[in-house]
Structure 1
Amino acid sequence: MTEHTALPAGQRNAIGVTLGLLGDEWSLLILREALLGATRFVDWRARLPISNAVLAARLQRLTEAGLFLRGNGYRLTERGADSWSVLLSIWAWEDRWVPSHPERLPDRVHRLCGKPFDPVLVCSACDTAVLATDHTLEGGFGPSGSWERSVPEATTRRRSAGDAGLFPETTALIGNRWSAALVGAAFQGVHRFSDFQRCLNTSPTMVADRIRTLCALGVLGDDYRLTAKGLAFFPVVMCLVGWAQRWYRAAEGPALSYRHLPCGAGFEAALDCSSCGDRLVRKDVVPTS
C-alpha cells in the first residue's frame, strides 16, 4: 500500500478530511468514471455534464489528495482505486432506495459467478455479514475521534445539474457537513433533538433544518430514529470509514475503532457477493446495461 497521509494532532481526523474530499458529487462522479476507464480530460467531458473549470478544479484537488497521478492523462493511484468499495456501496444503496434517477443505473454482475448481485457488508476477519441492527460491533470514537474533529470544513459545493446526479441522495447525506455529522450520530444511537444538538454543537435552527432534510428523504422517521432506508446506508458509512482510516492517520490514533464481537477481531469492512458469497474485488465487478 502506498504511503498514508499523516494528519496533525488536534486537527480534523480521517473522517472529517474524507468527508471534505469525497462528500462532493462531482468528485464521486469523476472517480466513478475513472474506475470505468476515464483517463483523459476529454473522457470526463464526454461522459459528464460538467464545465471545464469545475472538472479542472476537481481533478486538481483529487490529484493533490493523492487519488490521481498526472502524466499522460490522469491515472488512479492505489488510494484512488481503493475508493471502489465506497462507490459500489453507494451504487447499490441508490439503486435500491432512490427510485427516481435522472439516468438509469446499470445492473451489477459478479464476474466470478456470472450472476447479478448486491454487495454484502462483512467482517474482513471472519467473513460474517454485519448489519447496522445486529449489535455485533463494539466501539466508537478512538483517540482522534470527536464530533468536532469529524465534521469537515465548511465549503461551498456546486451541486451538479439535475441530469448529472447518479448520487443525488448520497450527496444530500454526506455532502453537507451537518447532515454527515447527524447521520453519524444517528448510527451511534442518538435520536433526541437535544442530543443531536449537543453532538453537532451548532444552532437549534441548523439541527432542525438537517433533521427536516433527512426526514424528507426517508432516512429518519418521525421519532428521529433511522428508518430501514437509513439503516441500509450502513455499508456506505463503514466503507467510507475504512477508506478514510487506511489513507489518513492522525497522530493520536484512529478516529473510530470497532471490534467484531463474534470473532473478537478489530472490525474492517469488506464486501461479499450476495449470489455466491465470495469476496468482491474491484476487477470482478462488472456493470451491465
Structure 2
Amino acid sequence: MLSLLGDEWTLLIVQRALLGARRYGDFQAALPVSNAVLSGRLQSLTADGLLERSQYQSNPPRSEYLPTAKGRSLWPMLTSIWEWERRWVPEHAEPLPRMYHSACASAFQPVTTCRACGAPAGGKDVAAQWGPSGSWQRSIPSGSNRRRSSGRRSGAALLFPQTMSVVGDQWAFALLVAAFVGVRRFTDFQAQLGAPPATIAGRLSVFTDEGILVQDGARYQLTDKGLAFFPVLVCALTWAQRWFPSPEGPAVVLTHTACGRTFTPALDCDQCGKRLRAGQIIAVP
C-alpha cells in the first residue's frame, strides 16, 4: 500500500480523478505538475490498476483516465487527508477548499464511525492486534519497496505538506502506527521496528517539530493533532487489506471497544449525520 500511495503526486492525481478530472489537460490545469511527472504518474497509476485508460478520439488519438473500483475506493482515505490538512496544517500556500455535502447542501467535516454500531470512533476507541499475516517484521520497509521522490521538495508538498511526512516515508508510517498502539519510548520504537537509531531519531524529530508527537522526558505522546490522523491511518489500512489480501488472513484485526465488534471505518457527515458517498463530496472555496 505504501509503495503505491507513498507519493504525493499519486494521491493528488487520484483525488482529482475522483473530483471529476478525466483528460490530461484537466490534471495539468488543476495541479502544479510538470508534463514529465504527470505522464509518468498516469502511466504508473494505469499499470497499478488505480486508473483505466480509455480512448475517446482516434484521429488524432486522445485518451482519458477513469478511476477503477480500486481507485474509487480510496476516497475515504483522501477525504480524511483533506480534512486533516485543512484543519491542522496552517502552512499551505493557499487555504485548502472546504468540503461540501451535496446530499444536505452543507459545508461539512467527516466523522469517523464504526460501521457495525454507527457510533463515532477515534484512535482511543479502537484496539489493534496482529492478524494471521501480520507482524512488525512484515510491515516495515524492505529493499523491495519502490522509492518515491520526497514530497517535501516538490510543488505538491504545498498541498499535502505534512501528510507526506507520514505516508511518503515508510519508516515514519510504521513509527506512527506504533505510537497509536502504545509504543512510547525511543528504545521501544527501535526494538519493535528494528530500525537504526538514527532512523528512529530522525522520524521522532520530524513528528515533534510538526506537533504530531510531544516529548515528555523519555516518552513520546500523540498530541490532539496526532490523534486526529487516525482516520487517515485506519482508512489506508482498510483499503490495503481489501485490495491486497493475504491467504493467511488479515494483517491487522481492529476491534471497536465500545461495541466489541470488528471495527471497519465509515465516514459520516457532521451536519446531517448521513453516511457519506464519494460522489456527494464537492470542493468549494
Q: TM-score, normalised by structure 1?
A: 0.89
Pairing 1:128–2:124 present? no
Identity over aligned pairs, percent: 48
- The match for 2:225 among 226, 229, 233 is 229
Pairing 1:23–2:18 present? no
- The match for 2:240 among 214, 226, 244 is 244
CA distance in 2, matches of 1:232, 1:287: 21
How far is 1:243 from its partner? 1.0
- Relative to structure 1, the CA distance from residue 283 to residue 236 in structure 2 (aligned partners, 3 Å threshold; closer, same or farther) is same
Whether the 8 Å CA contact 1:142–1:256 is kept in 2: the answer is yes
Pairing 1:264–2:257 present? no
Residue 3 (structure 1) aligns with: none
AA paired with 1:141?
Answer: W
Whether the 8 Å CA contact 2:268–2:275 is kept in 1: the answer is yes
Whether the 8 Å CA contact 2:113–2:266 is kept in 1: the answer is yes
Residue 27 (structure 2) aligns with: 44
DSSP 3-state at the match of 2:100: strand
AA paired with 2:147?
Answer: T
- Relative to structure 1, the CA distance from residue 177 to residue 225 in structure 2 (aligned partners, 3 Å threshold; closer, same or farther) is same
> Which shows bigger deviation, 79-88 or 256-265?
256-265
Q: Which runs of 4+ in 1 moved over 4 A?
A: none
Residue 140 (structure 1) aligns with: 129
CA distance in 2, matches of 1:45, 1:158: 20
CA deviation vs aligned residue, 1:128-186 (integer Å, no higher than 9, x gap): 1001123xx23321111112322342514243634653111000111111111110100
Residue 12 (structure 1) aligns with: none
> Which has the higher relative contact order, 1 or 2, with Cα contacts under 8 A spaced 6 or more apart?
1
Output the aligned Cα RMSD.
1.5
How far is 1:121 from its partner? 0.6
Pairing 1:81–2:69 present? no
- Relative to structure 1, the CA distance from residue 192 to residue 154 in structure 2 (aligned partners, 3 Å threshold; closer, same or farther) is farther
Residue 220 (structure 1) aligns with: 213
CA distance in 2, matches of 1:288, 1:29: 17
CA distance in 2, matches of 1:89, 1:107: 12
CA distance in 2, matches of 1:52, 1:151: 33
Whether the 8 Å CA contact 1:25–1:171 is kept in 2: the answer is yes
CA distance in 2, matches of 1:256, 1:206: 24
Pairing 1:181–2:178 present? no
Count of aligned residue pairs for this structure pair = 270
CA deviation vs aligned residue, 1:163-215 (integer Å, no higher than 9, x gap): 65311100011111111111010011101001100122111111111110111
How far is 1:222 from its partner? 1.2
DSSP 3-state at the match of 1:71: strand
AA paired with 2:77?
Answer: V
CA distance in 2, matches of 1:51, 1:158: 15
Residue 5 (structure 1) aligns with: none
Pairing 1:91–2:82 present? yes
DSSP 3-state at the match of 1:74: strand
Pairing 1:63–2:46 present? yes
AA paired with 2:133?
Answer: S
Residue 183 (structure 2) aligns with: 190
